[in-house]
C-alpha cells in the first residue's frame, strides 16, 4: 500500500500533507493515515481501502 503524500483538504480545498510515517512493514489495508492541512490546519484521516481480494471459488 502506498498512500499519497498529499490530499486535498475537505475544509478549504488546500493541500494537506501526510503526517503519518509508514510503519516498518509498510501500510496495510484498513490503516488510518493522518493528514494535516497547511492552510487551515484541519486534520484529515484517510482509511486505506483493501485491495480486491481474489475470491476462493465461493460462488453459489
Cβ–Cβ under 8 Å, residues 16 and 5: no
Q: Any bridge partners for residue 45, and if so which? A: 34
Least Å distance between CB 34 and Zn ion? Answer: 14
Q: What is the Cα–Cα distance from 55 to 17, expressed in whole angstroms?
A: 35
Using the contact rule CB under 5 A, the part of the chain among 3-11, 17-25, 28-36, 45-53 near Zn ion is: 3-11
Candidates 1, 3, 14, 31; binder of Zn ion (CB under 5 A) is: 14
Is residue 12 at the binding interface for Zn ion, with CB under 5 A as the rule?
Answer: yes
Question: How many residues form the binding site for Zn ion (CB under 5 A)?
Answer: 8
Amino acid at each position: 500500500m502506498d498512500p499519497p503524500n498529499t490530499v486535498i483538504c475537505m475544509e478549504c480545498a488546500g493541500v494537506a500533507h501526510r503526517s503519518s510515517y509508514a510503519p516498518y512493514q509498510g501500510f496495510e489495508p484498513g490503516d488510518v493515515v493522518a493528514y494535516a492541512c497547511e492552510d487551515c490546519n484541519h486534520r484529515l484521516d484517510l482509511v486505506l481501502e483493501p485491495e480486491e481480494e481474489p475470491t476462493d471459488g465461493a460462488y453459489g
